[in-house]
Amino acid sequence: MIESALEIREVREPDGDGETRYEVYDSDTGMPVGVFDSYEDAKYEVESMKQSNRETWNKESDADPGPE
């Protein structure tokens, strides 16, 4: 994952209820990472993913281990 490729985008439900949600999107892969009810939750997810990558790159313990 390229850190600068992570974006937070506003999305609205198709039924037009007007409720805004926030999607974390990886523009490098073109894949959504998740949809969150608040901007703060989406921002936390982005920061968590970036921190996990930095720890992996620095050979520290990975806060979010996955298949490798």
- In a domain? residue 50: yes
Q: Is residue 1 part of a domain?
A: no
Cα three-residue angle 26-29-9, rounded to 5 degrees: 25
Structure tokens given for 41: 């939750």
Query: Per residue in 19-33, pLDDT tens?
Result: 889 999 998 888 999
- pLDDT value, residue 48: 87
Tell me, yes or no, whether 33 lies in a domain.
yes
> Which pLDDT band holds residue 34 (cuts at 50, 70, 90)?
very high
Mean pLDDT of the chain: 80
29 within domain boundaries: yes
Asked, for residue 37, whether it belongs to a domain, the answer is: yes
What is the average per-residue pLDDT within 41-46? 93
Q: How many domains does the chain have?
A: 1
41 SS3 class: helix
In this prediction the pTM is 0.68
User: Which residue's entry shows tokens 């920061």?
Assistant: 47
What is the domain range of residue 42?
Answer: 6-15+24-60
- Nearest Cα to Cα of residue 68 among 50, 51, 52: 52
Nearest to residue 1, comparing CAs of 56, 41, 43?
56
